[in-house]
Amino acid sequence: MRYAIFATLCVAALGACKSTSPNDTKSQIVLVEWMDWPAEVSAGQHFRARMVVPGLCAVAPQFHDGVHTDPLTVTFRPYFTFESIAYCAQNDAEALFVAFWLDTAGIAPGLAPRDYLMQARSGGFTENFEPIMTFGGVLVRSAAPDTSRRNAGGWITTSVDSVGCRRIVPRGLSVLDATLVLDNQGDTTTLAGHFVQGYIYQAPTPICGETRVFHLESRN
């Protein structure tokens, strides 16, 4: 798990981290902003699904992927357990939460051969409503899965470089580290802020100077 954004904000920008007195272990649900995973996997073999989630400024936070499977779906309901909420402050009179993002992963268990939907808690959450969104699918094969693609989905922003090449950026990640070139550079000006589905693959010829690209299949 990467906490680099949190460390930069907390140490460099705000100067100090302070925590409340430790209490009994607490929990906090989180929403998945982005997820990518192998498009095909072998039956019975667990696999890693990369997830981007909001971080938690807390004492002794532990991330849990909350994975659950059934004959049709693999669903992640991630959450943190922690001792107490922490605050980052310049001084005792100014305590504020720090917004940061965690680039982490959930582990799906070994599955029987068939197609599954990959789902996660995402979108908006209220006390009486838990949104579960479909990020894409995974094909479980008895043998010889195709490992050339990673399916992907989530909320994105976009960026355009100095020569007009458009890229998507998983929401919460930096433009410098996490951009993916779109293999179709057509009408993509309205993508920012949308929930998208697609896959990541190696293009046979470079697109905007890169071969690792994203193919857009749908947007919501």
Residue 55: CB partners within 8 Å, gap ≥ 6? 3, 5, 6, 100, 101, 102
Which ranges of 114-183 does DSSP label H, i.e. alpha helix?
175-178
Under the banding of pLDDT at 50, 70 and 90, the label for residue 163 is confident
pLDDT higher than threshold 80 for residue 53: yes
Positive or negative CA dihedral for 184, 190, 191, 195?
negative
Residue 67 pLDDT > 90, yes or no? yes
Domain ranges of the chain: 4-147, 151-219
Please, which pLDDT band fits residue 23 given cuts at 50, 70 and 90? low
Identify the CA nearest to 4 among candidates 146, 173, 123, 151. 173
pLDDT > 90 in the chain, percent: 61
Q: Are 34 and 49 in contact (CB under 8 A)?
A: no
Using an 8 Å Cβ cutoff, are 96 and 89 in contact?
yes
pLDDT for the residue numbered 96: 46
Mean pLDDT of 145-172: 93
Contact 122, 77 (CB under 8 A): no
d(CA 206, CA 213): 9
Q: Stretch 112-121: mean pLDDT, rounded? A: 98
With a cut of 90, say whether residue 85 has pLDDT above it: no
Mean pLDDT of 70-79: 97
Assign 172 a pLDDT band (cuts: 50, 70, 90): confident
H or E element, residue 84: strand 84-91
Q: Residue type at 94?
A: E
Q: 3-state DSSP helix/strand/coil percent for the chain, to nearest 5?
A: 5, 55, 40
